Amino acid sequence: MYLVLCTMYFVLRTLTSCSSSNCPLESTVTCNYGFYDTNGTAVAYNDTMTVSTLLAGSKTQYTYQLFGHRTITSDVRIDSLLEQGYTETISEVRRDTILGNKLAGLAKMKLPMGYFSTCDTIIIRYASISNRDTLYIQHVGYSNVDLPECGTHRFHTLTGIRATDAGIDHVEIVNPAVNYTGSENIRIYFNGTVEVEE
């Protein structure tokens, strides 16, 4: 009887107290973009890009202009520019934040998505193109738990996308399910083509 009780206790402890992580190693939810030329050939985009997104709410923006000089914008007042003769313009603009700063030579990029928004606005500024491109990504977000020990994730389903055409030829959704698997979701086809060596 003693042996039976000991065996039961051992089996019980073994089955109920084992602990190991069953969570995925990469669990960051990102929307994955692939870069292509106009013809659909995967490319590494050589131009330097800065990617930002608009946030909810507004902020005060200071703009400084002086004839013959580059226009400077800042979220804080710069008194030294006024002393140099710059003209200051104060305006209320949408808040934004930079998601990727001075990205160069990328073939793909990963960007987060707004948890509770239904349309994300992604702004791409190029180093060699004066105009910028804006991506409008419509999506539906939902919370997901695989296992309680792994925490919650915010997954998304892409429902639509459009973009301006400063440097972009067109965009398309190739996989609407945004999760942590790392699969490509959106393809950006930039203007121009690359020559493929035969």
Sites of contact with another protein (CB under 8 A): 4, 8, 11-12, 15-16, 22, 53, 55-56, 97, 99, 112, 114-117, 142-152, 154-155
- Residue 36 or 185: the one with the smaller Cβ distance to another protein is 185
Q: Decide whether 30 or 65 has the Cβ nearer to another protein.
A: 30
Distance in Å, CB of 140 to another protein, minimum:
10
Q: Which of 120, 91, 99, 121 is nearest to 49 (CA)?
A: 99
Burial of 33: CB neighbours in 10 Å, binned 0-12, 13-18, 19+: buried
Query: Shortest distance, CB of residue 23 to another protein, whole angstroms?
Result: 10
Taking the complex as a whole, the smallest distance from the CB of residue 117 to another protein amounts, in Å, to 6
Of 51, 38, 46, the closest CA to residue 104 belongs to 46
8 Å CB contact between 66 and 30 = no
Question: Considering beta carbons, is residue 113 or 161 the nearer one to another protein?
Answer: 113
Asked if 150 and 161 touch (Cβ cutoff 8 Å), the reply is no
3-class DSSP assignment, residue 116: coil
> Minimum CB separation from another protein for residue 55, in Å?
6
Q: Which is nearer to another protein, 80 or 97 (CB)?
A: 97
